[in-house]
Structures are given as C-alpha cells and as structure tokens.
Amino acid sequence: MHMHTLLTWALWSLAIATLGARAQTHPLPYQAGGQSLGTVNCSSSMCHGSVVPWKDATVLRNEYTTWSKLDKHSRAYDVLLNATSQRIAKNLGLKEPAHEAKLCLDCHAHYPTPAQRGNRFLFKEGVSCEACHGPAGPWIESHIEKGATHLRNVAHGLYPLSKPIEQAKLCLSCHIGDASRFVTHRIMGAGHPRMSFELTTFTAMGPSHYRMDADYVARKGSNDPVRVWAIGQVLAVQTQLEALMDPKRNYDGLFPELVLFDCHACHRPMAEQRWSSRFGTPPGVIRLNQGHIVMLKTLVATFTSHLNGELDQALSQLNNSLYARAAAGNLSWQDAAKQLHALAGKMLPVLEKVTLDRHARMKILLTLVDESRVHGYADYANAEQAYMAIVSVSNGLIQDGTFKLTPEIRSALVELKSSLAQDEKYQAKIFEQRLGTFRHQLAIQTGAPR
C-alpha cells in the first residue's frame, strides 16, 4: 500500500479512537473492571426475585423474575444451542460450537475476562443483570447499605442505564456493534439474521422491569420515551458511521463492510424491478442502510431546520463518494462520514434540553408521515424505522390527549405494520398508501392539514 495511504489510515484510526474516548463517559459493562458474580446474587425473593412487585419498596423487587420469565435477553444464550447457530459456527469455520465461541458469546451472554468471572458466574444466564448493570463485585454490598443512593451506586460502578445516552451506547454496542464485537457481512452470510434496532421499541418489548414513579424520578430523573427515541437514533447514526470509518472493520476487500449497507439492495429476486430515482443512487449500486439517517433528518427538520442543507449535502457527499470509490486509497467517503458524524453530534445537546410538548411531538409525527410524500420510504429498513418511530411518538400523543386511539387509528397502525410483515416482499407503495390512511385519521381528530 502507498505510504500516503498508510499514513492516512493511521490518522483515521487515531480519529476513531478519539471519537470513542470523547463520547464515552462510563465504561460499558463488558469493559468495566470488577468481578461478575452471576444472577444468583440478585434472585432472592428479598432482593430482586419476588414473584410480585412490592408496594412500598424503593424498587419493584421482582426485576429478576420479570427478566427471567419475560425478557428475551435471558434466553440469548439458549439461541446458541439451536441448529441454526451451530450451522453458523460451522459455516464460519469456528473451532468451538456457537455456545462456546467468544464471537457469539460476546453478545449472546455477558463475557467478562476469565479473571473477572466469580465462582457462581454462568454463561448460560445469557444477557444477564451484569451484562447491562455492570459487574456487581464493586457495588453489590454498598448498594443495599443504609443511605445508599443511585449516584453513589453509579460512582461504585453501577452502569447508569437511566441516562438515555448511556443506555443507547450499551444497547447499540451489540445491536449495531462496536470495535470489539461486531456482526460482519461474513457472519450474515453464514446464516445470521438481519440486524435491526430501535431503542424505545426494543426497551418496551423487553419488557421493562422498573416503574417510573415519583420515587424513580427523584432518584434518577424522568425520561420521555420520545426523547429516548430521538437520542437513540442520533447515536445509532454515529455508531454506524464509526463502523464505516474504522479501518479495522470497514475494509474487507475492495469495499467498506457490507453489513452497513441496505440488505435488500442486493438480496431480492433478479426479476423484480425495484429501482427508483427516489433511492438517490444510480441503478446497479448498493446503498448505505439509511434507516437511522432518515430518522436523523426528521429530527433536524423539526428542531434545527437551519442544518437541513448541511445534512443533505453531507449525505449526498457520502453516497456519491462511496459509489465513486474506484481509485485505491481514495478516502473522500471517510471525510464525508466524519462530517455527517459531527453533524449528528450537534443534535445531542439539543435533544437533551429541547421541550417536547404536544406541538413538538406532533411536528415529529407529521414529518415522519410526510416523508413518504417527499422522498418516500423506498427501502424496507427506512420504512421499518419509520413505523417504530410513528408508534413511539403516537403513544406519547395518545397519553397526553392530543388524539385518541380510536378504532380507525388502531386499524391504520395495524395495517401499516402488516405491510412490513415480510421484508423480502415489502412494497413501498402499499406502505405509503397506508401512511396516507393514518394521516387522514390524524387530520380528522387533530385538524392537522391533510
């Protein structure tokens, strides 16, 4: 490789390391020191294993029960035992079966270093308490002491999941991936399912094992689900771009890591004529997965419209430079990705402070719906993110009384979801028509322009 190219790659490696260091204020649980003790230390009926919630306790006390019985994270390890996972491991040529391979255990379980595994730590617990709340060794005793506070627990090593930015970083470290655990296109080719994630929706599906009552708010603050959704989208964009910019992850052959691109640009029947000018790319080229980026555009249009032009320019430059990348060592797409990453970063302080009143929520919702009139949701990934966002924002508007969940609204949302039932058979026109039906019902209730 040419010396100039080597130097450029070295500089980009330093830039990625700097981005990560600036953005992360708390080590993720799998990066933290301290002993991981296992869920057995949480599961007592007097701790977090009660069958029913306690009425007058600071916490519900049935968190372990909810997680173990209802949360798919508790069964993430079990997935590695099925025939599909074993076939993936075989296809990848792994020396161990899936349930023993670090490559799989990194995200299907809590994977501390051997020296940090306590006597009762078990991989089979899956994505366990300590996978999200941090290794319990440093804080398990102090968090039950008289006078213990949430802030003191965090100071001792409890991971601050009540902060949306920290929650998003943790979830995205597996659901998109980070520098040390990342689902590549090669893993997909071996049989791994398509990756998809939206913070608010997936948290609700958990289900959550806490109650945001007055006591919770006093200790940890309140988190508006719409704000959490918005922050999650911005960090998803940044996480995706960091992977794109990382020389260790994005340069397997002649093209950046393919897992970051739209699956359905290639994985579709050859006889199917799906290309449209609305894709924003010429026929015959693969497209970056822009599901989260389209959501970022909604947020920019709603809260920082003066950045609309800058965002469009950065995205256009990124797309054009990715597809025009013919000369060896051409890194113009890296510059475009860095520009887009920085622009997304400008949104975080805005979203942390902005007032999310009815007007702001309604503007977000209408912008999401009306995107179908402007550029459309031509790609399945974009439509999927739009649907999850529409439901999350609508829930907030229904709760504050902006509109009611009438049979017509419910039916429109059900029909919208049904148009996403099979990604390989997705038809943008049907999705957009059903968005129009939902828009019509919104107009009837709220007087919003049709």
* pLDDT tens-digit readout, 228-238: 999 999 999 99
403 touches 445 (CB < 8 A): yes
215 touches 195 (CB < 8 A): no
Model confidence pTM above 0.85: yes
> In the prediction, which pLDDT does 7 show?
39
> In the prediction, which pLDDT does 280 show?
62
> In the prediction, which pLDDT does 151 show?
93
Average pLDDT over the chain reads: 88
Q: Which residues contact 329 (CB under 8 A, 6 or more apart)?
A: 1, 2, 4, 5, 8
Q: Which pLDDT tens digit goes with each residue over 152-168? A: 999 999 999 999 999 99
CA atoms within 13 A on the CB side of 234: 24
Question: Phi and psi dihedrals of 288, rounded to 5?
Answer: -60, 140
> In the prediction, which pLDDT does 253 show?
57
> In the prediction, which pLDDT does 275 show?
63
Domain locations in the chain as residue ranges: 27-159
In tens digits, the chain (450 residues) has pLDDT values of 443 433 333 444 444 444 444 444 789 999 998 999 999 999 998 899 999 999 888 899 999 999 999 999 999 999 999 999 999 999 999 999 999 999 999 999 999 999 999 999 999 999 999 999 999 999 999 999 988 999 999 999 999 999 999 999 999 999 999 999 999 999 999 999 999 999 999 999 988 898 888 888 888 888 899 999 999 999 999 999 999 988 888 665 556 788 999 998 888 776 666 666 655 666 667 789 999 999 999 999 999 999 999 999 899 888 888 876 544 445 578 888 999 999 999 999 999 999 999 999 999 999 999 988 777 798 999 999 999 999 999 999 999 999 999 999 999 999 999 999 999 899 999 999 999 999 999 999 988 776
DSSP state of 324: T
Q: Which contacts qualify for 139-144: CB closer than 8 Å, 24 or more apart? A: 140/37, 140/41, 144/47
- Cα separation of 17 and 30, whole Å? 18
> In the prediction, which pLDDT does 270 show?
65
> In the prediction, which pLDDT does 381 show?
95
Amino acid present at 326: A
